[in-house]
Structure formats: structure tokens, C-alpha cells
Structure 1
Amino acid sequence: MTRICVFGAGAIGGYVGARLAKAGVADVSLVARGTHLEAMRAKGLSVTQAGETYTVHPKVTDDPRGLGRQDFIIMTLKSHALPVIADTLAPLIGTDTVLLFGQNGLPWWYFYKHGGRFDGRVLESVDPGGTLWRKLDPERALGAVIWQAAVLGRPGHVIHGFGNRLAIGEPSGEVSARAQALSAILGQAGVESPIRPNLRSEIWLKLWGNLSFNPVSVLTGGTLEGLARDSGTRAVLAAMMEEARTVGEALGVKFSVSVEERLDMAAKVGAHRSSMLQDVEAGRPTELDALLGAVIELAQMTGIATPALKLVYDLARFRVQVA
């Protein structure tokens, strides 16, 4: 049976791992920590979805050394945690182990097999000094865009909010056998997992909302719906998105919706407080560099001016530091 480890099994990772365990389509193990881990050890992992609750009992640990080599490792930590845990992945990695990266923002492997003028370039904002590139090897990487929303209601209990798509893709754009295998397993577990030949465009579609709404929410305390419906903040968000679109298009990205449509998509989510705002209020590190700092780095590489992005980045960076 295919061996899959979900590394960073919080809300999203816990949801995906629970779906896999419930379906019995893989030998599943979860790496977590703290009270969440202890709760799963004691009573299993419970998931509430569409008003129904179920409990599964996969292997759970905070020490991956006892899990053995894996076929797939699904990485659901936040981007800033990857350098911290890179060395701890070694016991899980065999000759053909594939790492699926589901972080928000621009991924560290972004220019691996990109094919453009920056092919093979390391993004310093998300991978300072190329540490992840060297230690994790981009040849092992599959990209992912996670569209599910979930929260931990309490330790050991995931509450699924909305969405069930987890798009995956090779950095090269090919439809590989390993991508097809993982897509099929996730599909059997009830997680919609289309293979995208151009995953970077879908990464940007999600990033487009995150790079704007998340830092502006940190500065204002506003919800997605509130920020999108207020004329003043909507204008700021739109200016940020227009600058980001110029950067993305310079790198070959195709945007499937307009700025106004993307703003309306966020508004439909409702009175949702962004993950970055929640992180700041809880005193946790944020994804500011992966979501916005990396786009500003790309703008500098391509010679594109991004005054709105830089202004909001500088203000949000200060807010994060003093939180």
C-alpha cells in the first residue's frame, strides 16, 4: 500500500490526512505537535464536515524517525516553517519519495524547470541562501494549491469550512505518473485533486487574493467581505492586484479572471478573518514574505515598479514586528 505522511497535520493537513485514513486508500501517518498531537494520540482525529463528525486513528507522532521511508510526503506547514524542519525529513525520504508542497504564496521551487529567463533562480524571500533548494531537492517537488478552509475547533478536532479542491502539478508542467498516482489516491479519498499543466497560474490566482487581503487585514482588522465591499479598501486592494498582475504576466502567468471578479470571489467568502490577521493576533510568525515579499522580489527582478505593494508590505512588516 502507498505510504503517505502528512507533515504539519494541523487543520488542513489533518483534514486531508483524515480523508485518506477514512477511505483506507493509503498507509497514512501524521506529524504534528503540542496539545493537538496529544489529543490525537488519546482519542484519534475527529473531523466535522457538512454537519457530520467522524473519527479516524492514523499513526501520529512528533518524531518522523520511526515512520520509515514514504512514497509521498504532503507538506502542510506554513512556508516559514520549512527551513526549520528540512533536516528532520531525511528519515522519511527514500530514492523515489515525492514531496507535495501546499504552502500559501510563491513556493521555493518556483523557478525550477520554469523555462524562462530566470530558470533555476532561487527566491531569496522564501528560500534565503537556497537552503531548501539544496536540502529538499526540487526534483522531488510537486506543487499544490489548497482551496479548502478548515480550523481546529479544539485539539484533535478539525472543522471543515468550505472547499474541497487540492490542485497539483509538476514544476515542468508534464502530467507525470507520480502526479497521476497521487491525484487518484486523493480522489478516492474524496479530495478533488485535478492535475494542472500550468499550476503556476493557479498559484497566482490564489496568491492574488492573499497578497492583498491578508496584509491589508492586518493593518485594518477587516474581514474579507468588509474589505472588498468598502470603497476605500477595495481601491487599495485593486491597486495591489493590478501591480501584481503586471509582475505575473511578465513571467508568463495567465490570469483567468479580472481584478473585479477576484475581489468579488473574496467578498463571497463572507466575514472571514484572514489567516495572517489570526497569526498576528496570536503572536505567531506570518507568511508575509511568501505572500507579498516574494512578489516584490519578482518585481525587482523584472524591473516593474510596485509602489502600492511596497507601501503595504512596509506597513504590514512593521505591524507584524510590534505585534
Structure 2
Amino acid sequence: MKLCIFGAGAIGGYLATHLAQVDGLEVSVVARGEHLAAIRRNGLAIESPRGTLRARVRATDRPQELGAQDVVILALKSHQVTPALDGAQALLGPHTAVVPPTTGIPYWYFHGLPGPHRNRQIERLDPQGRQWQALPPERVIGCVYWVASEVTAPGVIHHDGSLSRFPIGEPDGSSSERVLRLAAALQGAGLDAPVVPDIRAWIWAKMISSLCWNPVATLTLATLSEMNARPEVVAIVRSMMSEADALAQRLGVQQMPISIEQRITAARNAGDHKMSMLQDLERGRALELDVLVDSIEAMREIAQSPTPTIDTVYALLRLRAAKLSPRPPG
């Protein structure tokens, strides 16, 4: 099987390094700049408390050199996908499966979903339907990335040693040959990659965790343990989760795979972990709000389901983000 990972950052590099260990799997990556140069020179490396895992993979910034693939994993941030569409076309054959990012609600969410919104395109999340046209939903396999990794140097990914999980699934819930082959490849690489019957529920579960803990951490400058030590703060997060769960249930999710209390317990058990948005704040980076805000607002408008606590918290977060933005000269 030929598998290309488009974007070899914290998630893409982690996946590529593991998948390169599987016999019979032809793994390549699309990268650029210093990261690409380092991968070509030294390969990829994952550093973790368990040691260092290394891999040599074919790397390029010219996707057309790689030709058609069996699977393309777009390991990009959501705002990077549209600019990458032209390059990704060179990787697509008649039967190529595509795994797009699922940081927020993906463009293909309503594809084949029973109910009044079946096959609805979401203009706010996919302006002019560019992703829908370039990467037709029929090609899509959904995947949720639960992995605590970051790029610490070109070609080097740090993993904190915690459990990583990659639930995957067809939008129609079937156990197709292609999803089973991809799951077998991931599992053969030692990754926890179950095939799930409702990938949309897992997408919501991951998004809701980011949606709720990230803004509160950024507003309070607190770690997960510090937030969980304050019942009044946990109450705000619980209210946000309840609103988001209700929204998900109105949009095709019959049952969330993880209850609210299980999510809060998992956060409590994570100890002094700093949420990614708080890390960006401390490093002086722009706060990436758009994918979460656009996702929740687009779905709220479709479902006509109120989210007052989420709206309040994000109004405050937008102000914090604006105060961090560079001021124009003069």
C-alpha cells in the first residue's frame, strides 16, 4: 500500500515515523523548508520517555513526484488545507482514499448523513465548496488524532509518552475494505486505531474537549489541574460541554462515545498539562480560534440550538486575542 502524509509536523511526523516501521507499506511525506531538509538528511525521529524511534521516508515538496497513492493523510491545520488542494491533486488516483483534518467540523460532515441536512455543504467551513470539489466526500475516511506531540526541531517530534489514539471510520459507518486496510496499517505500526461505527461522534468528542478547556485555560493562564481544583471553573466547562453535546445530538450524533464526567475526569488525571492554546499564548503566537469558533457557530445556526456559555467564554477570548494582535504603526 502506498501512503502519503501531506504535512510532516507534530501529527504527520509522528504517524509517518511509526508507519515507516511496517513491512510492505510505502510511506512518503510532503514537507517544506528546514523540516524537509532535515528529513532528507537525517530522517524522522520521535523522542519520548520510552526512547527514540527513527525512520527514513521519502520526502518532497513536489507531490507530483510521488504519483497516485492508495491513501493520503492530510496532516495539516485546517486553514492550511485549501492552499494545499492543488498539490494534493497529484496524489489522487481513481480509488485514492483521503483522510482530512478533523480539528473542527469537517467539510464532509453531512455527506450521506440521514436526516434533513443530508449532503448539505457548509459554506462557512468550506467557502465556495473548494474542498468538497477537490476532495469529494466519497474519498473520505474520517480519523481523530489524540496524541500529545510537538515539533522540537526540524525532523524531530517530541511525544510525552501518554496513550495515543486514532479512531477511524467511514462516514456511512461501514467496515469497508479500505478502512480495514488503513486500520491494519496503523495497528501494525503499534498505534491504537479502532474502526468505529460513528466517526462523527468521535470528531465531536475531540472538538468539544478543545472547545471547552482551551479558552478557559487561556483566559485564566491555568493548567488542567489548577482549573480542576476550582469547582466553579469546572462548572463553566461542564456547562459548555452540555451545550455542545446537545448541539451534536441535534446534528446526527445518537450517543457521545465519552460522557461529560469521563471527559472531566480525564482532564483531571492529566495533571499539570498546559492546553495548546495556552502554550501558544505563552510563546507569543497568534491564537487559532477560527476553526473552533466557525465550527460551533455554523452548526449552531443550522441546528438552532443555543450555546450561551460557549458564546460568553469565546467573546472574552476574542478580546484577549485582539489585545495580543500587533498594533498598526503610527
Q: TM over 0.5: same fold?
A: yes
Q: CA deviation at 1:283?
A: 5.4
Query: CA contact under 8 A between 1:169 and 1:198: conserved in structure 2?
Result: yes
Query: Who is 1:316 aligned against?
Result: 317
Structure 1 163/307 Cα, relative in aligned 2: closer, same or farther at 3 Å? same
Within 1, Cα distance between the matches of 2:122 and 2:278? Answer: 25
Offset, 1:286:
4.9
CA 1:321–1:82: 2 relative to 1, 3 Å: farther
Mapped contact 1:12–1:150 kept (Cα < 8 A): yes
Q: In the alignment, what sits opposite 1:65?
A: 64
The residue type paired with residue 315 of structure 2 is D
- Kindly report the root-mean-square deviation, in angstroms, between the aligned alpha carbons of the 2 structures: 1.9
Sort the Cα spacing of 1:115 and 1:280 in 2 relative to 1 into closer, same or farther, 3 A.
farther
Rounded Cα–Cα distance in structure 1 between residues aligned with 2:284 and 2:120: 32
- Describe the SS at the equivalent of 1:53: strand
* Cα distance in structure 1, aligned partners of 2:244 and 2:236: 12
* Aligned partner of residue 39 in structure 1, secondary structure: helix
What is the Cα deviation at residue 110 of structure 1? 0.7
Q: Between 2-11 and 285-294, report the one with greater CA deviation.
A: 285-294
Rate the CA distance shift 1:80–1:285 in 2: closer, same or farther, 3 A: farther
SS at match of 1:153: strand
In structure 2, distance between residues paired with 1:61 and 1:322: 38
Identity %: 39
Q: Structure 2: how far apart are the matches of 1:317 and 1:25?
A: 48
1:74 aligns with 2:90: no
Provide the C-alpha distance between the structure 1 equivalents of 2:105 and 2:322, rounded to a whole number of angstroms: 22
Opposite residue 47 of structure 1, the aligned amino acid is: I
Matched residue, 1:267: 268
Change (3 A) 1:285 1:119: farther
Contact 2:169-2:199 at 8 Å conserved across structures: yes
Specify the alignment match of 2:40 in structure 1: 41
1:76–1:101 Cα contact (<8 Å) kept: yes
* CA distance in structure 1 between the aligned counterparts of 2:184 and 2:201, rounded to whole angstroms: 22
Conserved 8 A contact 1:47-1:160: yes
CA distance in 2, matches of 1:175, 1:285: 40
**Unaligned residue ranges in structure 1 (runs of 5+):** none
Offset from partner CA, 1:66-95 (integer Å, 9 cap, x none): 111111011111111111211211111111
CA deviation after TM superposition for structure 1 residue 284, in Å: 4.9
Q: Which sits farther off after the overlay, 11-20 or 295-304?
A: 295-304
Alpha-carbon separation, structure 2, partners of 1:160 and 1:25: 26
Count of residue correspondences: 322
Using the TM superposition, name which of 150-159 and 286-295 deviates more. Answer: 286-295
Contact kept? 1:6, 1:75, Cα under 8 Å: yes
Shift of 1:315: 2.5
- SS of the equivalent of 2:20 reads helix
User: With structure 2 as the length reference, what TM-score do the two structures score?
Assistant: 0.91
Greater displacement, 172-181 / 45-54: 45-54
Alignment of 1:278-297 (within 5 A): 278-282=279-283, 284=285, 286-297=287-298
Corresponding residue number in structure 2 for 1:299 = 300
- The amino acid of 2:275's aligned partner reads S
Q: For the residues of structure 2 that align with 1:267 and 1:260, how far apart are their CA atoms?
A: 10
Give me the whole-angstrom Cα distance separating, in 2, the residues matched to 1:114 and 1:53.
42
- Give the 3 Å change call, closer, same or farther, for CA 33–203 of structure 1 in structure 2: same
Mapped partners of 1:138, 1:321: distance in 2? 35
1:293, 1:313 within 8 Å by CA — same for their partners in 2? Answer: no
**2:140 aligned with 1:145, yes or no?**
no
Q: Which runs of 5+ in 2 are unaligned?
A: 325-330
CA-CA distance at 1:285 after TM superposition: 5.5
Closer, same or farther in 2 for the Cα pair 1:119/1:180, shift >3 Å?
same
SS of aligned partner of 1:146: coil
